[in-house]
A and B are shown apart, each in its own frame.
Chain A
C-alpha cells in the first residue's frame, strides 16, 4: 500500500465577507497517495479549488482564512509553516496548474523565460542551463519544435499549446505533487484529449502524485485512480474510480452520474437533480444535500451524516448507511 504524501485532516476554510461567513470548505479529509492520481470532483462552488489553494497557502486573506485542520505534506504541517517556507515549497515540492492558461501566463515574457525563472529561483541554476531545461520540458509536454517555441510569447500559441506550456512550467522543478485545477474544462474536446494524454504520459515517466480537480466524470474515469466527491464544501463520498462510478452510494453521486448525458445511447429524458446548491453562508442543518435528496429521512435534517466505510477504501457520508459495515453487518 502506498504511503500518503499529502494528508488533509478536517480542513476548514472560511471567507469572512460582509454578507456573512462563507464556509467554502467545511471539514474535509482525504489522502493523496504517492504516485497516484486522485480526482477531486464536484460542481461549481463545492470547494474543490479552495481546497487546492488552501494546500498551497494561496487563499486571499482577507477575506479568507484556513480556520481549522491540518495539511501534512511528508509529515510537515503546511498550515504551520512560515510564509518563507511555503514560498520555497510552492513550485518545487507542490506545483499547481490553473484552469485558465490565458491569464496564468504573463503576456510580456516568453514562455521560455517564464519557465526559466522558476528554475533559476528554486534550483539556483544559471541562464543557459535553465533555458535548456525549459526546452526539455516543452518537449516533454509534447510541444513540437521546442527549441523554436521556447522563445514564443503566449499570444503566439494556440489554446492547447498554452495549456501545455503551463504544465511545463509547473513541472520545471520536478515537484512531488502536481495539483491540476480543471485543466481540461475550458478547452475543446480534441484538445482535452491531448491534455489528458500529456498527463497520462507524465504519470508514466515521472513518479509524481497528481491531484486532479474536475467536474467531468468522463475525465475522471479516464485518468483517476481514486476519486473524492465534494458537495457544498463537504465530502460526500470517496472511493476507487471504478468502484465509485460503478456503484455510487451517496444519493448526490448517484444523481450526478445519472445526470451526465451518455454518448453511447440516447435516453428519453435525462435524470436531473431538482433544486440548486445551498447557500454556503447559511447552510441547511444536518446533511447539506437533504433538501434535494429523494431518499432524505428525518435524521438528515437534524444531524450531519457521519463517515461510514461501505467497502474497501470506499467511504460515504450519508445517514442511509449509518452503521452499516463494509461486509453488510449492521
Chain B
C-alpha cells in the first residue's frame, strides 16, 4: 500500500505537485470522453457537464484548497468581510438562492406544465378582474380571479406556475453565472498573468489579442451560433465565457505588473526560483483576491446578459430562465403584472446581492482600508 503511495508521490513530484497531477488526469479523462462522445458513442454527457467537471476541478484545486491550506489567513479575511452588513446580507441571499435552486424543484410544480384553466392567477393576497369572453352570452363579463395556495406566486397566461418558474430560473442564473464567469476568469487570469510576467513581445501579442477580442461583436457571434446550432444553454455559456475574459485579463495584468516589481518577487528570483514557480506560487495567489472580487462582480453581468438574451428570444427554449419569464410577462404588464415583476425583482435582488458581496470582499482584501 505504501509502495503504491510512494510511486504516486514520485510521479506527482515529477509533474510539479499532486494538484497538477489531478488536473492532468482530469483533463485527459475529460478529453477522451469528449472525443468518444463526439465521434463514437451518442451523448454520454451533455456539454454543460464537461464544463462543470472541468471548472469545479480547477476551482477546487486552485481556489478552494489554498483557502483551506491557509486557514488562518482565510479566517482573518472572513472576519473583515463579516463587518460589512450589506455584504453579509448579500451572502445570505446568495445562499438562499442556491438552496432554492437545489431543493426548490422537489417542492414545486413543473415549470413547463401548461394548464389553460389555471391561467392568469394572481399571487397570494391579490385579486384581479379579467375581462372574459363568454361564448354563451356573446359578451365580455368581468370575472374575478383569486389567488390560491396552490400557486403562491400566481401563474402566467399559459397557466404555468410562477413559483416553479422562478425556482428554475434561480438555478439557471446561478449556473450560467458561475460557469461563464469561471471560464472567463480562468482564461483572463492565465492571459493576464503570463502577459505581465513574460513582458516584451509576448505581452504585446497577448494584449493585442485582448483588444481584438474586446472589439468582437459578441452578440453577432451569439446570433450566428444560435442560427447554426440552435439555441442551447451550453453554447450561450461558452460564448459568454469565451468572449468575456478581456476585462479580467487587463485588470489582472496590471495587478501582476505592480506585483512583479515588489521586492518579494525579486527575493524569490534571487533565491533561484524559476519563472513558473514565481508565477504559480507568488503571483497567482496574490491576485486570487482580485479574481474573487472580479468573479463576484462579473456574475451579475453574466446573469443579466443571459436574461437579456432570453428576453429577446435567443435563449434556450427548453430552459426556464428569468429572462424567459420576463419575456412571457412583458405584454400584459398592466393586467398580469406579477409575471414580469417577480422575475424582475429577483434579478434586481440577485445582482444587488452579488454586488454587495463583491464590494465587501474588495474592502476586506484591501490592506489599506482600515477595518
What are the residues of chain A within 8 A of B370 when measuring CB–CB?
17, 63
In the assembly, what is the distance between CA of A17 and CA of B83, in Å? 13
Whether a CB of chain B sits under 8 angstroms from the CB of A312 is no
Could you give, for residues 60-100 of chain B, a 1 whenever the CB lies within 8 Å of some chain A CB and a 0 otherwise? 00000000000000000000000100000000000000000
A267 at interface by CB-CB < 8 Å: no
Q: Does A269 contact B (CB under 8 A)?
A: no
Closest to B83 in A: A18
Q: How far is the CB of A238 from chain B (nearest CB, A)?
A: 32
In the assembled complex, the CB of B154 is this many whole angstroms from the nearest CB of chain A, namely 46
| B contact face: mostly helix, strand, loop, or mixed | loop
The residues in A between 2 and 42 inclusive whose CB is less than 8 angstroms from any CB of B are 17-18
Docked complex Cα distance between A322 and B221 (Å): 85
Which B residue sits closest to A17, measured CB to CB?
A: B370
Chain B residues near A63: list those with CB within 8 A.
Answer: 370
Q: Which residue of A lies closest to B371 (CB)?
A: A18
B369 to chain A, nearest CB (A): 12
Interface of chain A, helix or strand or loop or mixed? loop
Give Cα A63–Cα B370 distance, bound, in whole angstroms: 10
Q: Which residues on the B side are within 8 Å of A17 (C-beta)?
A: 370
A contact residues around B371 at 8 Å (CB) = 18
Chain B, residue nearest A63 (CB): B370
Number of interface residues of B (CB under 8 A): 3
Contacts of A18 on B, CB cut-off 8 Å? Answer: 83, 371
Bound-state CA distance A4–B370 (Å) is: 38
Distance in Å: Cβ of A44 to nearest Cβ of chain B: 17
Chain A residues with CB under 8 Å of B83's CB are 18
- Distance (whole angstroms) from the CB of B78 to the closest CB of chain A: 15
Nearest CB on A from B79, distance (A): 10
Smallest beta-carbon distance B325→chain A, Å: 43
Contact with A along B327-371 (1 / 0, CB 8 A): 000000000000000000000000000000000000000000011
| Nearest CB in chain A: distance from B9 CB, A | 43
> How far apart are the CA atoms of A18 and B370 in the complex, in Å?
9
What residue of chain A has the Cβ atom nearest to residue B79's Cβ? Answer: A18
Interface string of B156-171 (1 = CB under 8 A from A): 0000000000000000
In the complex, A38 Cα to B264 Cα: how many Å?
A: 40
Measured CB to CB, the closest approach of chain A to B89, in angstroms, equals 19
Give residues 63-105 of A contacting B (CB, 8 Å). Answer: 63
**Complex Cα gap A63–B369 (Å):** 13
Restricting to A166-212, which residues have a CB under 8 Å from any CB of B? Answer: none
Distance (whole angstroms) from the CB of B81 to the closest CB of chain A: 13
A183 to B83, CA, bound (A): 38
Tell me how far the C-beta of A16 lies from the nearest C-beta in chain B, rounded to whole angstroms. Answer: 12
Q: How far is the CA of A304 from the CA of B370 in the complex (A)?
A: 31
Task: Mark interface residues in A33-63 (1 if CB within 8 Å of B CB, else 0).
Answer: 0000000000000000000000000000001
Residue of B nearest to A60 (CB): B370
Cα–Cα, bound, A18→B83 (Å): 10
The residue in chain B whose Cβ has the minimal distance to the Cβ of A15 is: B370
CA–CA, A66 and B65, complex, Å: 46
Query: Cα distance A63–B83 when bound, in Å?
Result: 16
Nearest-CB distance from B367 to chain A (Å)?
15
Bound-complex Cα distance A17 to B80 (A):
13
Q: How far does the Cβ of A99 sit from chain B's closest Cβ, in whole Å?
A: 18
Task: Give chain B nearest CB distance to A15 CB in angstroms.
Answer: 10
Q: How far is the CB of B87 from chain A (nearest CB, A)?
A: 15
Inter-chain CA distance A63–B371, complex, in Å, is 11
B80 CB to closest chain A CB (Å) equals 10
- A121 vs chain B, min Cβ distance (A): 31
* B77 CB, nearest partner CB in chain A, Å: 15
Q: Roughly how many angstroms separate A17 CA and B371 CA in the complex, as a whole number?
A: 8
- A17 to B369, alpha carbons, bound, how many Å? 12
**Which single residue of chain A is at the shortest CB-CB distance from B370?**
A17
Bound CA span A280–B24, Å: 52
The minimal Cβ–Cβ distance linking B84 to chain A, given in whole angstroms, is 12
CA distance A185 to B102 in the complex (A): 61
CA–CA, A18 to B371, complex, Å? 7
B339 to chain A minimum Cβ distance, whole angstroms, is 46
User: In the complex, what's the smallest C-beta–C-beta distance from A229 to chain B, in angstroms?
Assistant: 28
Q: CA A67 – CA B42 in complex, angstroms?
A: 77
* Minimum C-beta distance from B354 to chain A (A): 26
Least distance between B366 CB and chain A CB atoms (Å): 16
How far is A17 from B370 in the complex, measured between Cα atoms in Å? 9
Which 4 pairs show the lowest CB-CB distances between chains A and B? Answer: A18-B371, A18-B83, A17-B370, A63-B370
Show 4 residue pairs from A and B whose CB-CB distance is below 8 angstroms, ordered by the A residue.
Answer: A17-B370, A18-B83, A18-B371, A63-B370
> Which residues of B does A touch, CB under 8 Å?
83, 370-371
